[in-house]
Every structure is written in C-alpha cells, then in structure tokens.
Amino acid sequence: MSWLDFFRGQRKPDSSASAAKERLQIVLAHERIGRNREDFLPKLQQELVAVVARYVAIDPGKVNVNLDRGGDMSTLAIEIELPAPAAMRMAAGAR
Amino acid sequence: MAQVVVVTSGKGGVGKTTSSAAFATGLAQRGKKTVVIDFDVGLRNLDLIMGVERRVVFDIVNVISGEARLNQALIRDKRVETLSILPASQTRDKDALTKEGVQGIIEELSKDFDYILCDSPAGIEKGALLALYFADQAIVVTNPEVSSVRDSDRILGVLQSRSKRAEEKREPVKEHLLVTRFDPVRVERGEMLKLEDIREILSIPLLGVIPESESVLKASNTGTPVIMDGESTAGQAYADAVSRFLGEEKPHRFIEAEKKGIFKRLFGGRAA
Ligand SMILES: Nc1ncnc2c1ncn2[C@@H]1O[C@H](COP(=O)(O)OP(=O)(O)O)[C@@H](O)[C@H]1O
Ligand SMILES: [Mg+2]
C-alpha cells in the first residue's frame, strides 16, 4: 500500500483478482471438456503435416502448432514453413 | 457403517493436514468415534500436527504388509477419548500402499468408528488416488489462489470418475468446499480471489472458510490441533465447519475485513 492509498482510505479493488477469476473460468471450461479425452493435438499435427507433405516437400521440423484457448472462441494456428521455390521444383522434378 | 471422508486438494501446502487434524479432533470432541489416517506415505506429518509423533510405533504400511495388527498401529489420543490416529510410514514409498490393503484397513475400522478421515497427499497419483478411492464424502481444501482452484477442480474430476462410488455408478461422493488461508483484507484490496468467485467456479457447497491465522503455526509448534484453540479465529472457524458438517446451520464468520481505525492502520494489527 502506498502512502497515497493510505490517505485515500478504502480503495477500489484492483484488477488482479478479477483477472484471476477470468483466467480460471476460461482454462477450466476447456480442461473440463478435455478431462476424459486424450489430447488430440499431437495426432492432429501429425496427420495435417502428412497431408501437406503429399503436395509439398516440407521439413517436419518447421511446423509450428499454436493454440489459444479463449472464452467464446479458440484458435488453432498451424504454421508450416514451405521450402524456397528452387527446392520445391527440385523435389517435384525428382518425382 | 462408518463414513469415509477424504481431505484432498490436488495442490500441496494448502492446509489438508491442518484441516484433517482439526476436523478429526472436532468430530471426536462431539462424541463421534473418529480415526484419522495419514496417507502421505514417505512424508508423514499428521503425527506432528496431532502431537503424537513420539508415540508412533507402527504405521499403515506395517499393517498392510502384515508386520503389525491394526490395533497395534492405532494411536489413541490422550486429549479426546474418541479419537485415534493411524500414522503414515516415513521410510517406505507410496508403492507400499495397495488398494486391497487399504480396503482391509477401512473395512476393519468401519466396525469400530463413526468417521474415518483420510488425509490425502498432494498430487493426483497413487497415494492421493487411494486416499479418495473409498470416500463417501470429500472435503476439498482450496486457497484463494489460481493454481489451488485449478487443482481443486481437477481433483473434483477425479472424485467424479475414479472413486469407488464413481466406478460402481453409485450415488456420487458428497463434495464440500473448505476455503483456507483466507485473508479478507487482501480480498478487499482485490489481490485475492473472492469467496463468491471460488464458489462460482467450483460450484460445490461451501462447508467453511478458515482465515489466515498465526495461531495455525503456533498450534503446529506445540502439536495441538488448532480447533482446540478456542480463542483463535481459525479454531473457531474450524469448529463452525464441523458443526455444518454435522448438519447444523452456522453463519460464516471471519470473511469480512475488520474495519481498522487509523491507529491500527498505521501500526498494523495482526490476525490472532
Ligand atoms: N489458516 C491458516 N493460516 C495460516 N497458516 C496456515 C493455515 N492453514 C495452513 N497453514 C500453514 O500452511 C502450511 C501447509 O499446511 P498443511 O496443512 O501442512 O498443508 P497440506 O497438508 O495441504 O500440504 C503449514 O505451514 C501450515 O501451518
Ligand atoms: Mg499434508
């Protein structure tokens, strides 16, 4: 408490506890659904990469999967780095 | 038939052992024949909190492995006649506990006791699973803090899916929320989760709110369950919670910050 707060007396609640509540509500909503189910993300990533690899030569190490669990909406972002055009042509030509 | 009550939380250090000792003592003080079992094999502590550490001869693992009879391992409390303690082992690991072994102990204790309290270890592994497996009721100990609330939610999921009652599709384990280490001043300042928020998130009936209190440490120093300290806020809050557990109506106390005068605000006042 700073000295200013002291003279102000009762303060308005700051936001850290309400942030805690909000974060808990979101994460628990997701965890409750997923509780009795296996984590599907690793498999999803594997299968997606396999599909893309059928069309483009990709480096499996250059696949990024990001999930953002939101209250109303979640986003799953899968970023696959494609090789440079030269390398792609070579891969296509080799077939 | 005894009621089996697990005191659990998922997270460690939230007050399970403190609460187990208080509840067991409180139930026994009201004439209920009560035994409290320490399931924290490897990290025995209930004996210290109950003040019986110097009287431990055998423990739960000795009983399960057949090295001692249950009666030899039970320690009868010297302050409250109807109270007994079954200590955990300090030297063995948690794999020494088996479901069959625990079942045998609970069946035998059921003949002589009204309440069997199980003080769960932290985590959601073997020791914690065994502590809750046979439960009829669960006291979920939660601090007003994000990780504790999340872990309580987790353990509620476990109670609803992996307890014996759940596996046998019987009436579910009766759940009670016990909020401990509650600091009304910090809640008022918005630094700590509010009681209503915790209740809303976990949505199980509130059994009690135990305030943060220096007397808990003092009680553990002397091996006296804090419920025996009738002067302390924590002791009184535990006594109220035991009353509610036994079906009495009691208003919640110690949940509002004391309005401090300028003198106290300047020089600080500490919770008793
Ligand atoms: N209401 C309370 N006020 C102050 N300290 C507390 C309170 N409840 C528990 N503690 C302290 O918190 C620590 C952990 O408590 P304990 O009962 O051993 O937790 P657990 O069994 O869940 O690991 C101990 O040091 C204990 O004294
Ligand atoms: Mg403990």
Q: Who among B153, B189, B265 is closest to A6 (CB)?
A: B265
Residue of A1, A18, A28 with shortest CB distance to B153: A28
Split at pLDDT 50, 70, 90, the class of B79 is: very high
pTM for this structure?
0.85
State pLDDT tens for residues B190-205.
999 999 999 999 999 9
Q: For the segment B246-269, what is each residue's pLDDT rounded down to a tens digit?
A: 999 999 999 998 776 655 555 555
Per-window interface: A 32-91 vs B, CB < 8 A: 32, 35-36
pLDDT averaged per 10 residues in sequence order, chain A, 95 residues: 52 73 89 72 80 86 79 82 72 52
**Chain B residues lying within 8 Å of A16, measured CB to CB:** 190-191
This complex has an ipTM of 0.78
Residues of B in contact with A11 (CB under 8 A): 189-190
Q: Mapped to the 3 state alphabet, what secondary structure does chain B carry?
A: CCEEEEEECCCCCCCHHHHHHHHHHHHHHCCCCEEEEECCCCCCCHHHHHCCHHHCCCCHHHHHCCCCCHHHHCEECCCCCCEEEECCCCCCCHHHCCHHHHHHHHHHHHHHCCEEEEECCCCCCHHHHHHHHCCCEEEEEECCCHHHHHHHHHHHHHHHHHCHHHHCCCCCCEEEEEEEEECHHHHHCCCCCCHHHHHHHHCCCEEEEEECCHHHHHHHHHCCCHHHCCCCHHHHHHHHHHHHHCCCCCCCCCCCCCCCCHHHHHHCCCCC
Quick: pLDDT tens for B103-135.
999 999 999 999 999 999 999 999 999 999 999
DSSP for residue A84: P
A78 CA: distance to closest CA in chain B (Å):
28
